Amino acid sequence: MPRKGMLRGVKRIVVKIGTSLITEEAKISRRRIERLVGDIAELIEQKYQVVVVSSGAISAGSGALGKKREHLSIPEKQAMAAVGQSILMDEYRKCFRKHGREVGQILLTEDDVKHRRRFLNARHTFNALIEMGVVPIVNENDSVAIKEIRFGDNDTLSAHVANIVEAGLLVILSDVDGFYSELGDELPIEEVRSIDEDLRRRAGGAGSPHGTGGMATKIGAAEIIMKSGELMMIANGRTPGVLPALMRGEKLGTLFKGGKNHMQSRKRWIAFNMKSSGEITIDEGAVRALVESKKSLLASGIIGVSGKFNPGDAVDVMNPNGATIGKGISNYSAAELDMIKGKRTREIRGILSGTYYEEVINRDDMIIHDVP
Ligand code: GLU
């Protein structure tokens, strides 16, 4: 299938920008950020939803303070990230504002994707930002993340961000044209359909002195993306207009494409990896909304709650006769649901102060069993 066809269903894109693309002589480069932001703004104009994962905090900090990155201890690097992250955001903000866009900073650690509740909470924040037309800009929370909870590189982080926001495509921009089969090859591989030991070996070691990732972490990211049934590309961020060109289906960089489709893999995860911690019983109207109209579950259709569960846990969904019709991830705890069951969405705000979500179980977080 031509690339254009594969990209047709893509709406949400995560763009990962490597340190080498936005620095010049070990300092943050406005000119370079400006150009990449111009590309991203063009995608947003075309109605794509874009989340940016940008490296460069440590380099921006050390550049500003005149320190050599290679000579820094871990606490010093963390300090540089604290300085550099605000410099980085300031640059992105100035550049995006020229296109009439505000930016929002999200700093994550591995803990945030390991725990379902935090994972979902992060997703809600991303969605709220995107709905407001704000461009989320993500980095690892380097100043506080200790070794045990670090992603360690932004390639891996960007794959997890793509999972959090359910992006159809992750584009990793770096200073190489794509993934090369052998060192010295003239052109990168156009398409990778599966990743085996041999390919992993060819991806080799770490990257440039400026960033953390090399090809190995990019291939690791591709494995995550392909397992989720989505697309990933590695392309050269120095190529002018690279992002719009990629989305036009031009054969640039390397495309990674797994076999399964998005819904199947996600549903499989809910079906097989998550144990139900409770039951939600819903009325006939809600059964119809879920089964026939493929809607999300709202509190108004709930008539009973049992079990003990927290937001992010899986629950079985039962019809009024007590038959299990599906399973999904609840945005609310059992105690909260007990208070809001049968209530209209607008009433919920008055009952639960603080957290408040439109849907009890989002459509994408739910599987419906084949009911005979
Ligand atoms: N989070 C690091 C930074 O902003 C970059 C990690 C990486 O290069 O992958 O400096």
- The per-residue pLDDT for range 151-164, each reduced to its tens digit, is 889 999 999 999 88
Which of 21, 72, 154, 174 to mutate to test ligand 1, by most ligand atoms within 8 A of the CB atom?
154
What CATH number has the domain bearing residue 202? 3.40.1160.10
- The CA distance from 292 to 277, in Å, is 26
User: 349 C-alpha vs ligand 1 centroid, how far in Å?
Assistant: 39
Same domain assignment for residues 133 and 199: yes
Q: Are residues 46 and 81 in the same domain?
A: yes
* pLDDT-based confidence at residue 23 (cuts at 50, 70, 90): very high
Answer positive or negative: Cα dihedral of 118, 124, 127, 131: negative
Between 264 and 181, whose confidence is greater? 181
pLDDT at 263 over 50: yes
Q: Residue 58 Cα, ligand 1 centroid: separation in angstroms? A: 7
pLDDT at 265: 55
Model confidence at 174: pLDDT above 60: yes
pLDDT band at 261 (very low <50, low <70, confident <90, very high): low
Best residue among 19, 33, 143 to mutate for probing ligand 1, ranked by most atoms within 8 Å of CB? 19
For residue 157, what are its two tokens?
């982080």
55 CB contacts (<8 Å, ≥6 apart)? 16, 17, 18, 19, 22, 139, 154, 211, 212
Quick one: which atom of ligand 1 is closest to the CA of 153? 9
Polymer length of the chain: 372
Q: How far apart are CA 132 and CA 14, in angstroms?
A: 17
pLDDT over threshold 60, residue 210: no
Helices and strands: H and E segment counts in the chain = 15, 15
Identify the three-state secondary structure at position 283. coil
pLDDT of residue 163: 87
**Segment 184-212 mean pLDDT:** 76
Residues 69 and 19 in one domain: yes
Residue 273: the pLDDT is 60
Indicate if 263 and 291 belong to the same structural domain.
no
Amino acid at 11: K
Average pLDDT, the chain: 89
Instruction: Judge whether residue 213 has pLDDT over 90.
Output: no
For residue 106, what pLDDT band results from cuts at 50, 70 and 90?
very high
User: End of a domain among 220, 242, 267?
Assistant: 267
pTM of the complete model: 0.75
Do residues 70 and 90 share a domain? Answer: yes
Whether residues 12 and 40 fall in one domain: yes
- Of all residues in the chain, the percent with pLDDT exceeding 90 is 65
Strands (E), the chain: 12-17, 23-24, 27-28, 49-54, 103-108, 135-140, 169-174, 191-192, 231-236, 254-257, 276-282, 302-307, 314-318, 324-329, 366-368
The reply to whether 179 and 302 lie within a common domain is: no
Sequence-distant (6+) residues with CB within 8 A of 190 are 251, 254, 255
pLDDT value at residue 30: 95
CA 236/CA 243 separation, integer angstroms: 10
Q: Which domain, by its residues, includes 78?
A: 3-267
* Rounded CA separation 359/295 (Å): 10
User: Are residues 17 and 171 in contact, defined by beta-carbon separation less than 8 angstroms?
Assistant: no
Given pLDDT bands bounded at 50, 70 and 90, which one contains residue 131? very high
User: Domain end: 207, 235, 267, which one?
Assistant: 267
Using DSSP, state whether 7 is helix, strand or coil. coil
Distance 19 CA to ligand 1 centre (A): 7
From the list 320, 330, 257, the residue with the least C-alpha distance to 287 is 320
Are 99 and 246 part of one and the same domain? Answer: yes
- Find the 285 Cα to ligand 1 centroid distance in Å: 49
Domain match, 151 and 292 both = no
Q: Please state the rounded mean pLDDT for residues 80-101.
A: 97
Q: Which residue has better confidence, 261 or 42?
A: 42
Boundary residue ending a domain (232, 247, 267): 267
The pLDDT, as a whole number, for residue 355 is 66
> Looking at the predicted structure, is the pLDDT value of residue 323 above 80?
yes
Query: Which pLDDT does position 76 carry in this prediction?
Result: 92
What are the beta bridge partners of residue 54? 17
Query: Coil, strand or helix: which one is 303?
Result: strand
* Ligand 1 centroid distance, CA of 271 (Å): 35
Note whether 263 and 283 are same-domain residues. Answer: no
Q: Write down the pLDDT at residue 102.
A: 98
Q: Which residues line ligand 1 (CB under 6 A)?
A: 19, 55-59, 81, 139-140, 142, 153-154, 211-213
Phi, psi of 8 (to 5 degrees): -55, -40
Nearest Cα to 33, choosing from 84, 88, 97? 88
| Atom 6, ligand 1: residue with shortest CA distance | 153
Mean pLDDT throughout 126-150?
91
Say how many Å lie between the CA of residue 127 and the centre of ligand 1.
24
Residue 116 has pLDDT above 80, yes or no: no
Kindly tell me if the per-residue pLDDT of 57 is higher than 80: yes
Task: Supply the residue whose CA is at minimum distance from atom 2 of ligand 1.
Answer: 55
176 and 308 fall within a common domain: no
Count how many domains the chain has: 2
Strand partners, 119: none
CATH code (residue 306) = 2.30.130.10
Residues 202 and 263 in one domain: yes
